[in-house]
Protein backbone atom coordinates (compact mmCIF):
# COMPACT_ATOMS: atom_id res chain seq x y z
CA UNK A 1 0.00 0.00 0.00
CA UNK A 2 1.38 3.41 -0.91
CA UNK A 3 -1.78 5.45 -0.33
CA UNK A 4 -3.83 5.50 2.88
CA UNK A 5 -7.06 5.48 0.88
CA UNK A 6 -6.21 2.43 -1.28
CA UNK A 7 -8.38 -0.68 -0.92
CA UNK A 8 -11.01 0.70 1.42
CA UNK A 9 -13.86 -1.75 2.03
CA UNK A 10 -16.64 0.34 3.58
CA UNK A 11 -18.97 -2.67 3.83
CA UNK A 12 -16.61 -5.05 5.66
CA UNK A 13 -18.00 -7.05 8.57
CA UNK A 14 -14.89 -6.41 10.68
CA UNK A 15 -12.46 -3.56 11.08
CA UNK A 16 -9.47 -3.75 8.76
CA UNK A 17 -5.96 -3.29 10.13
CA UNK A 18 -2.96 -2.65 7.86
CA UNK A 19 0.50 -2.27 9.36
CA UNK A 20 2.34 0.52 7.54
CA UNK A 21 5.59 0.62 9.49
CA UNK A 22 7.07 -1.31 12.38
CA UNK A 23 10.26 -0.62 14.32
CA UNK A 24 11.32 -1.45 17.88
CA UNK A 25 9.02 0.61 20.11
CA UNK A 26 6.95 1.93 17.16
CA UNK A 27 4.09 0.61 15.03
CA UNK A 28 2.03 2.65 12.57
CA UNK A 29 -1.18 1.23 11.18
CA UNK A 30 -4.20 2.20 9.16
CA UNK A 31 -7.55 1.13 10.56
CA UNK A 32 -10.73 1.16 8.48
CA UNK A 33 -14.00 0.94 10.39
CA UNK A 34 -17.35 0.36 8.71
CA UNK A 35 -19.81 1.07 11.49
CA UNK A 36 -18.06 -1.14 14.04
CA UNK A 37 -17.88 -0.37 17.75
CA UNK A 38 -16.28 -2.04 20.75
CA UNK A 39 -18.28 -4.92 22.19
CA UNK A 40 -20.48 -4.04 25.18
CA UNK A 41 -18.37 -3.93 28.34
CA UNK A 42 -15.06 -4.18 26.43
CA UNK A 43 -12.29 -1.63 27.15
CA UNK A 44 -8.91 -1.38 25.43
CA UNK A 45 -6.12 -1.39 28.02
CA UNK A 46 -2.89 -1.25 26.03
CA UNK A 47 0.64 -1.41 27.45
CA UNK A 48 1.95 1.08 24.86
CA UNK A 49 0.87 4.65 24.14
CA UNK A 50 -1.22 5.34 21.06
CA UNK A 51 -1.59 8.53 19.05
CA UNK A 52 -4.58 8.27 16.73
CA UNK A 53 -5.68 10.63 13.94
CA UNK A 54 -9.09 10.42 12.30
CA UNK A 55 -8.59 10.89 8.55
CA UNK A 56 -12.09 10.22 7.20
CA UNK A 57 -15.53 9.57 8.64
CA UNK A 58 -16.62 10.13 12.20
CA UNK A 59 -16.23 8.26 15.49
CA UNK A 60 -17.18 8.45 19.14
CA UNK A 61 -14.30 7.50 21.42
CA UNK A 62 -15.04 6.91 25.10
CA UNK A 63 -12.53 6.97 27.96
CA UNK A 64 -13.38 5.17 31.18
CA UNK A 65 -12.37 8.21 33.24
CA UNK A 66 -14.64 10.62 31.29
CA UNK A 67 -18.42 10.85 31.53
CA UNK A 68 -19.12 11.54 27.84
CA UNK A 69 -17.66 10.12 24.63
CA UNK A 70 -15.54 12.38 22.44
CA UNK A 71 -16.83 13.05 18.94
CA UNK A 72 -13.96 12.80 16.44
CA UNK A 73 -14.14 14.32 12.96
CA UNK A 74 -11.52 14.35 10.17
CA UNK A 75 -8.35 16.01 11.43
CA UNK A 76 -9.04 15.32 15.12
CA UNK A 77 -6.37 13.41 17.01
CA UNK A 78 -5.91 11.98 20.49
CA UNK A 79 -2.82 10.85 22.40
CA UNK A 80 -3.77 7.91 24.62
CA UNK A 81 -1.49 7.10 27.56
CA UNK A 82 -0.56 3.48 28.28
CA UNK A 83 -3.28 1.62 30.19
CA UNK A 84 -5.81 4.45 29.80
CA UNK A 85 -8.93 2.43 29.28
CA UNK A 86 -10.94 3.44 26.22
CA UNK A 87 -13.46 2.07 23.74
CA UNK A 88 -14.99 2.94 20.39
CA UNK A 89 -18.67 3.79 20.91
CA UNK A 90 -19.51 4.19 17.20
CA UNK A 91 -18.03 4.80 13.75
CA UNK A 92 -19.37 6.05 10.43
CA UNK A 93 -19.00 4.08 7.20
CA UNK A 94 -16.17 4.25 6.31
CA UNK A 95 -13.98 5.72 9.02
CA UNK A 96 -10.23 5.79 8.35
CA UNK A 97 -7.81 6.08 11.27
CA UNK A 98 -4.03 6.47 11.39
CA UNK A 99 -2.77 4.90 14.63
CA UNK A 100 0.77 5.29 15.96
CA UNK A 101 1.58 2.87 18.78
CA UNK A 102 4.76 3.79 20.60
CA UNK A 103 6.81 2.91 23.65
CA UNK A 104 6.17 5.72 26.12
CA UNK A 105 8.91 6.01 28.69
CA UNK A 106 9.41 8.89 31.05
CA UNK A 107 12.79 10.60 30.63
H/E/C letters for each residue in 88-102? EEEECCCEEEEEEEE
Work out the angle at residue 11's Cα, subtended by the Cα atoms of residues 79 and 61, and round it to the nearest 5 degrees. 25
pLDDT in 10s for each residue of the chain, 107 residues = 688 888 777 677 788 899 999 999 999 999 999 888 999 999 999 999 999 999 999 999 999 999 999 999 999 999 999 999 999 999 988 899 999 999 977 54
- What is the bridge-based pairing of β-strands 77-80 and 49-56? antiparallel
Looking at residue 9, what is its pLDDT? 72
| CA–CA dist 91, 73 (Å, integer) | 10
What pLDDT is stored for residue 107 in this prediction?
44
At the topology level, CATH places domain 16-102 in Jelly Rolls (2.60.120)
Residue 40 zone, left/alpha/beta (φ > 0; ψ -120 to 50; rest): beta
Amino acid sequence: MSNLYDRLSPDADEEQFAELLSRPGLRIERIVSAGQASAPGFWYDQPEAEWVLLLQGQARLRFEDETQPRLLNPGDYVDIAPHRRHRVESTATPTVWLAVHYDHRES
